[in-house]
Structure 1
């Protein structure tokens, strides 16, 4: 099993040759042991409860940072993410900024990717929100 640097939980990213090579996600992530942390969907809310950021990239960065903040408060770190779902209001806009979103991911989380899904939605709870991220982590111990 592959181990992430600084992560004592044995974790393996499974990307079978029979499937298309993943770009920005892993087909599956296998974990031997640890404590599950289910992370609620996070949008680009600031501490005052207001959506911040005008672009999907700005909002993705804030939402992902909020998710990692909740994970850290639970005793975990970004490297412990094993699954992430991204809810996207405007899929074309999101896809057209994929490189920038990838750079945000690397800056906030690192170079490894959990099992991921991107789902297009008509709108999110906060009408100003362009993106929401929800995750599952496995924290050692």
Structure 2
């Protein structure tokens, strides 16, 4: 069964007891069957191509929304995400906002977390961007 209960591929989260309990990510994700969707990096661009106003939480919400919009256009949903990488220009700031970012994630994408990483970067393509997300999903 797929992440949404349809026949086809399967996304399974693996969190073994020999590792620290994950918070906001899964240690491993397996995918079988279906088709892979590679999601390009998404920043907090609005439909006019401008970075939305506000700080890291506002930008994270828009970037995640943009990533999920692209995934839905490809025929998937948040449960199909197998991997997400977050690129942040301020990792300390990202950690400071972790609870709020987690609430945003759960509201938009639910509680089934993909394998994730946060990578600190000097800057992003959009100079005003504070965060960018890309991902890999498996669709049935």
1:119 alignment partner in structure 2: 119
SS in structure 2 opposite 1:38?
Answer: strand
Residue in structure 1 matched with residue 11 of structure 2 by the alignment? 11
Alignment-derived partner of residue 68 in structure 1 = 68
1:102 match: secondary structure: helix
For 2:32 and 2:136, how far apart are their aligned partners in 1? 15
Q: Name the counterpart of 2:36.
A: 36
Normalising by structure 2, we get a TM-score of 0.94
Give 4+ residue runs of structure 1 displaced > 4 Å after superposition. none
Checking the alignment, whether the CA contact within 8 Å between 1:7 and 1:79 is kept in structure 2 is: no
Unaligned regions of 5+ residues in structure 2, if any?
Answer: none
8 Å CA contact 1:41, 1:135 repeated in 2: yes
**Deviation of the 1:26 alpha carbon:** 0.3
- The answer for the alignment partner of 1:21 in structure 2 is 21
Partner of 1:103, secondary structure, is helix
Paired residue total? 138
> Could you give the per-residue CA deviations for residues 97-141 of structure 1, whole angstroms, max 9, x where no partner exists?
10100000001100110000000001101110000000000011x
Contact 2:42 2:66 in 1 (8 A): yes
Structure 1: runs of 5 or more not aligned: none
Mapped to 2, the partners of 1:115 and 1:43 lie a distance apart of 19
Are the equivalent residues in 2 in contact too, given 1:7–1:80 (CA < 8 A)? no
- Find the counterpart in structure 1 of residue 129 from structure 2: 129
Q: TM-score, with normalisation over the residues of structure 1? A: 0.93
Partners of 1:91 and 1:39 lie apart in 2 by: 22
